[in-house]
Structure 1
């Protein structure tokens, strides 16, 4: 495996709506690399021979080896927009920086390098088209090779140039949405043979894993939503931590069909009041989505940061994360058939069960991951936030001070339960909405 730093052109091309932490101020460096090698592939029809690749790898790492905690978080960059996006980094970056992790984003899939249609109605040009000076040498042989490319790059990080000066002890693979589906397939098909990763954080997957891809093209992600349920296989040797939103349980993701019990190496958290994507991910660009209602303003970012820390502790010390109840579902009969399930909700309309954050325990809004009759797939993925009648809020809290006391107690409870981190308390408290409580 060869890593060559990339420079010039228009700078690093990685689509993100929010900037994340100030890396330089935190003592981190950011370097774009071209990673070259050759791997075999696997198509739906079977194995295929070696092909050469040169893909992009972005590294954000502590400049000082003494500040490194020994764990590298390797993210399978998301291509649903037709461009690479660091979806999981957007949620967990404060924990990465304060915890001393190294983060590596890998352009594992064909579309991230060569461009193409995304799965949300947006398309992207190839990296070489966008910036031939910087990315002109990149080449991806097709998604038949994506899983092996991801693993080959991750394995090389233990001794490769991008992390020179750092002593790598653990590798964690993370990915959100389509990347989570790719990791589901990786865990079930490749992980036992490769033995590269020490743990997995799978965030917002569907019922099935991403299908094996073709040579010379990207995989058809729509097949993921039509496939058979793919729970994580027995016989694991490393932990797999899955975090799911309301959108992922129902809608066409239908993860409820792939639910499985927790075990010594499997843990699943389902987050109440959360959507597949939310305001934190889209930042100031919410209006450009064109959704009729405000997008979801839930607090899954705090849960994901806690999940990452728990996963790191799990792989290092063998201490499993807390167990969380599932979101509460009910079904009804539709003639002789059982209808699709729906969430049980409280008196205001927020879902019951699951991981509970302060915004659903001390609610001022109805936070949902389900958008009936959504006008676009983007709006379906981003859920919704709807108002609660002011009279109902007054009846529940009386005064803003009482609301803040209630909210603070639930923030403390989430931290005590392990579903949020003490480091995030100030940000959690800043998320309170006393302005919605009538004077």
Structure 2
């Protein structure tokens, strides 16, 4: 593998193409830049049958970073961009953006996979009219991009992660920042890719991993000239993180991931000094925070999940940074409780799952929050879970008044912060997420 890659800033055309349905922090107001670069390199490849001929690539990255080096906390978060829609998205940035910006992180999204550059049909049932590839959509901006196939995606990700440490050139996306730590993050298909990366590519540059919403198995090794078939992951054997893993691995799972066809419960393993797993109660693989005002376009019969997974993920990132910095490991968490059949959850008196990482919306409930949809009408509706109503009369009987509910909710928020599952910086946003109006007047 070559030791370096070259970066060229992208401009013109229609601007940066990166799917997002949720509002993000005002980067300019926060003193951040938001730029996009072509990344040129030459790398080795590997399929399930072994090494393949080296190939050239030109992919892209999106870099969001503090302009002033004194505002940088030394940690660069590198997201394996998600291609489940057939185009690149940054779901982890959406969940983590508040913590990234207020904490002074740099974030880099990498088009590691073939479908992110060349386009694909996706795996979640969303259709896109017109050209699929970035170059086809916007030749003025992306005409130079070329991906040789997912036999090279793991090495492309490693190569870019390694080069992000070397910020001593003016053309570097992080020029002027003193990078001390590089963390890899990814959600859904990207989490499955990072699981493969951790297990099959142990000689890597990353100081830690946040693997969010993986399946029991891992993403296969790819082929030359095409993308990976993610469906093969759901029929694969369970994969656990090896004991000899060199860098801390933090796995965060939703209810959808533990059951449904993800079946992560088959790959559960005990925490170690290099592994933590948090399973978040009342969470789904994707949720209302991700889709926001576009919920109706999903076509799901019930409201999508409105859980508080975002707060837990922000806490997980903060813990991971501290873990790789000074060795202080994150708190342990109980798993979600499964019934004896290992295919259903044990639920409480209102219908929320027992166990797991607890947030105020499940400890002081006003809704039934689930990540497992019975007989979903589509793949996308399975992923987004559901939110069920509790009768106002039942809520009044439970809490007595809106004031008593808010007192209990505030106490649950304080407890989640004390336990380390929610950050103090998110207290006000968590409190604002309460729903006293559901009790009626």
Would you identify which runs of 4 or more consecutive aligned residues in structure 1 move more than 3 Å? none
| Residue 293 (structure 1) aligns with | 302
CA distance in 2, matches of 1:268, 1:250: 15
Counterpart pick for 1:142 among 144, 149, 152: 149
Segments of structure 2 that go 5 or more residues without pairing to the other structure are: none
CA distance in 2, matches of 1:17, 1:331: 39
| Residue 336 (structure 1) aligns with | none
| Residue 177 (structure 2) aligns with | 166
Residues 298, 367 of structure 1: 8 Å contact kept: yes
- Deviation (angstroms), 1:330: 0.8
CA distance in 2, matches of 1:184, 1:45: 19
> What does residue range 39-438 of structure 1 map to in structure 2 within 5 Å?
39-124=43-128, 125-160=132-167, 161-190=172-201, 192-194=202-204, 196-332=205-341, 340-438=342-440
Secondary structure of the 1:276 match is coil
Secondary structure of the 1:98 match is helix
Residues 399, 438 of structure 1: 8 Å contact kept: no
Secondary structure of the 1:180 match is helix
Cα deviation, 1:316-341, whole Å, max 9, x if unaligned, reads: 01000000000000124xxxxxxx52
CA distance in 2, matches of 1:438, 1:398: 11
Cα deviation, 1:80-111, whole Å, max 9, x if unaligned, reads: 01110011000000000011000000000000
CA distance in 2, matches of 1:261, 1:356: 19
- Deviation (angstroms), 1:123: 4.4
Cα deviation, 1:295-349, whole Å, max 9, x if unaligned, reads: 00000000000000000000001000000000000124xxxxxxx5210000000
Secondary structure of the 2:250 match is strand
Structure 2 length-normalised TM: 0.97
- Deviation (angstroms), 1:113: 0.2
Structure 1 length-normalised TM: 0.97
RMSD (CA atoms): 0.7
- Deviation (angstroms), 1:233: 1.1
Secondary structure of the 2:193 match is helix
Residues 83, 123 of structure 1: 8 Å contact kept: no
Cα deviation, 1:19-51, whole Å, max 9, x if unaligned, reads: 310000000001100001011111111111210
CA distance in 2, matches of 1:416, 1:176: 26
CA distance in 2, matches of 1:126, 1:87: 20
CA distance in 1, matches of 2:10, 2:398: 56
Residues 74, 106 of structure 1: 8 Å contact kept: yes
CA distance in 1, matches of 2:30, 2:293: 24
